[in-house]
Copies of this chain bind each other. A is one copy, B any other.
Amino acid sequence: MHSIITLTKEQFTLGHDIFSLTIALMGAAALFFFFSRDRVLPRFRTALLLAGISAALGCYHYIQIFHSWNEAFEFAGNSYIVSGHLFHETYRSLNWLLAMPLLLVAFVLILARSKDLTISLIRRLVNASIVMIAFGYFGKMAIESHAVMVQWVWWFLGMIPFVYIMMLLWRLLSPAFENQSACAHKLIKQARNLILISWSFYPLATLLGLLHVGASATGLVVFNIGYSLADIAAIGGLGLYITWIAMANSEENS
């Protein structure tokens, strides 16, 4: 897609800067989650550890995306032209493949009190998220080969686990609400909405791409800003809610 694109200096710099900002935010989030572990009860510490690892994974993958962006374009007098190196967008799929199951596990770990419900929820959420992200990865690979029909098939297949995960979060999480303090209750609802909104950006952006919206230099930059913000919300933001919920429940119980 991007192989025909010439970027202005400003467009290239905007992409470059948003990726650097995301590296910094993810790294900062990882440090916050890791070092907040001793501020919560021991049984919440694994959840915070997983949130920290997810943010560290986000930091790593955005370092790779940042370097790939810088390699994919070269400065030619007044604008940036493609250098011949691919811009590896598959890093985002790899990032989600690892970070999202970990965050879903962390989210369930701070909510569910019964061990059976926890294990059943984790198993279903992790499997569904891996299937969803794998379909997205194959869709990205199909973009490289310009097979539009195949991309539509992967998009529809990916929507099935997406809807399934949202159903699980909206219906099966409800019993967990009863044991929560008023403060934690509010935070959990906000966290769930954050998951829905931030996750929705991916299928939406893919859909726009399939409808040939934004197939330009501006489109490339805008989409990449969108993906970065969605990742910051879905990983750093959700991790922050997990930390807050753990802190609220720790105060309640200590």
Flag if A10 contacts B52 (CB, 8 Å).
no
Flag if B144 contacts A25 (CB, 8 Å).
no
> Is residue A196 within 8 Å, beta carbon to beta carbon, of the partner chain?
no
Selected contact of A13 from candidates B27, B84, B90, CB within 8 Å: B90
Selected contact of A60 from candidates B23, B42, B52, B95, CB within 8 Å: B23
Selected contact of A24 from candidates B16, B86, B98, CB within 8 Å: B98
- Distance from A60 Cβ to chain B, minimum over Cβ atoms (Å): 6
Counted per complex, copies of this chain come to 2
> Is residue A85 within 8 Å, beta carbon to beta carbon, of the partner chain?
yes
Flag if A75 contacts B84 (CB, 8 Å).
yes
- Distance from A112 Cβ to chain B, minimum over Cβ atoms (Å): 19
Selected contact of A53 from candidates B28, B42, B64, B97, CB within 8 Å: B28
A80 to B108, CA, bound (A): 44
Stretch in contact with the other chain, from A30-38, A170-178, A197-205: A30-38
> Is residue A189 within 8 Å, beta carbon to beta carbon, of the partner chain?
no
Interface residues of A in 14-31 (CB under 8 A from B): 16-17, 20-21, 23-25, 27-28, 31
